């Protein structure tokens, strides 16, 4: 992490904090919208299926946001531990352009591509 000292690390720390705040708001909104969709049709059985489908979409989006928030929090913990910016795959520093684009990145582009290839090759 020595290469990410000073202003650059500060910028990435702020970006992570801002993303965490935005995700918390999005999660709250999606959970509220899911509840509203179900509650609005509580006594209208004809709309119950559509409401359930809408709630499922909202919950899926909230779940995705929760996973991203967990990744952001892990990145913040790596900053605190002095391990931020090191690739989990090869141990080399993750290039700054990648961290700026994806501050919670765990891997450099090459290792991420290998990881995704392995994940796609696994049977479901």
Assign 52 a pLDDT band (cuts: 50, 70, 90): confident
Q: Which domains does the chain have, with CATH numbers?
A: 2-121 (1.20.120.910)
pLDDT at residue 45 in the model: 62
| pTM assigned to the model | 0.81
Average of per-residue pLDDT across 80-92: 94
Greatest mean pLDDT among 15-19, 30-34, 81-85 lies in 15-19
Pairwise CA distance, residues 59 & 27, whole Å: 9
CA–CA separation, 61 vs 105, rounded Å? 20
């Amino acid at each position: 992490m020595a290469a990410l000292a000073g202003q650059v690390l500060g910028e990435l720390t702020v970006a992570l904090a801002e993303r965490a705040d935005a995700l918390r708001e999005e999660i709250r909104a999606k959970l509220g919208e899911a509840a509203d969709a179900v509650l609005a049709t509580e006594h209208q059985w004809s709309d119950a299926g559509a409401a359930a489908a809408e709630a499922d979409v909202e919950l899926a989006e909230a779940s995705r946001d929760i996973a991203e928030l967990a990744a952001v929090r892990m990145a913040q913990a790596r900053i605190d531990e002095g391990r931020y910016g090191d690739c989990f795959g090869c141990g080399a520093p993750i290039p700054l352009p990648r961290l700026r684009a994806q501050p919670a990145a765990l891997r450099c582009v090459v290792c991420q591509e290998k990881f995704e290839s392995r994940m796609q090759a696994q049977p479901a």
